[in-house]
């Protein structure tokens, strides 16, 4: 572990960003953190502090497939994606296929877990908890489903469970990539073009659908930012 830990998180809001641009942005920061850790291991001088980032954005319509996913879960032929103004990317996170689009809040934590704890299971549960607390701020009761990742509504009610937040991550030398996608005002029709996360027997929902009204995305951002930093015991360096 680094001699000095850093629990400060730098917040960055990319706004509406092409998937490839956001991928390049988070990857550059991921590689920068790993470079610092590599220097620390080979240096006799006091360790450099590694940075932590929390990146928010929305994406134009895009489907992404994780490294363990099955391309058959994209149920529209790839050559027809342009007809629905969507793109497709195979990426190196865990999980299967998911959708990103306008009205969905995507969060990419690029953090050095050695600044916090070295436990991937706890990391995933903490992200879920931050989303559960955020939904609660807006009067939506949510929780987990045994054996499944993400945040769910009525997860304990057979036939009624619906996913409101998907998650998929990758870590390298305890530095995280990718993250979560919370459906705020997302167009849920796009989920009809995939089998979300490879799960065919559960529905997908959004905050807008659950509450019957359009949400102020900036207010949701503020809530998630507050809850994420609280759950991780972090300090925010750049308030929203």
Angle at 180 between CA 232 and CA 210, to 5 degrees: 105
Buried b / exposed e along 136-174 (16+ C-beta atoms within 10 A): eeeebebebbeeebbbbbbbeeeeebbbbbbbbbbbeeb
> One of 106, 175, 197, 220 is an active-site residue; which one?
197
User: In sequence order, which ranges of the chain are alpha helices (DSSP H)?
Assistant: 19-42, 120-137, 207-211, 217-232
State yes or no: is 57 an active-site residue. Answer: no
Cα gap 52→201, rounded to integer Å: 37
Find the distance separating the first CA and the last CA of the chain, reported in whole Å: 30
Cα gap 95→108, rounded to integer Å: 15
Choose among 105, 91, 71, 92: nearest CA to 193: 71
CA 67 centroid distance within chain: 16
Cα gap 188→210, rounded to integer Å: 12
CA 18 centroid distance within chain: 15
Choose among 101, 123, 133, 240: nearest CA to 179: 123
Enumerate the active-site residues.
197
């Amino acid at each position: 572990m680094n001699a000095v830990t850093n629990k400060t998180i730098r917040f960055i809001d990319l706004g509406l960003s092409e998937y490839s641009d956001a991928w390049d942005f988070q990857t550059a920061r991921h590689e920068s953190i790993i470079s610092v850790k590599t220097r620390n291991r080979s240096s006799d001088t006091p360790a450099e502090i590694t940075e932590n980032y929390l990146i928010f954005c929305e994406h134009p319509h895009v489907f992404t497939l994780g490294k363990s996913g099955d391309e058959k879960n994209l149920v529209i032929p790839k050559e027809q994606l342009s007809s629905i103004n969507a793109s497709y990317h195979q990426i190196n996170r865990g999980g299967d296929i998911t959708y990103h689009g306008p009205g969905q809040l995507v969060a990419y934590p690029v953090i050095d877990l050695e600044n916090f704890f070295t436990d991937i299971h706890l990391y995933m549960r903490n992200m879920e908890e931050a989303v559960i607390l955020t939904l609660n701020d807006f009067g939506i009761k949510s929780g987990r489903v045994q054996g499944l990742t993400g945040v769910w509504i009525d997860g304990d009610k057979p036939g009624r469970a619906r996913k409101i937040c998907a998650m998929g991550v990758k870590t390298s030398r305890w530095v995280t990539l990718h993250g979560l996608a919370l459906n705020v005002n997302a167009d849920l029709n796009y989920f009809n073009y995939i089998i979300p996360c490879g799960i065919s027997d559960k529905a997908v929902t959004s905050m807008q659908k659950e509450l019957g009204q359009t949400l102020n995305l900036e207010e949701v951002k503020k809530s998630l930012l507050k809850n994420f930093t609280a759950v991780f015991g972090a300090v925010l360096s750049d308030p929203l």
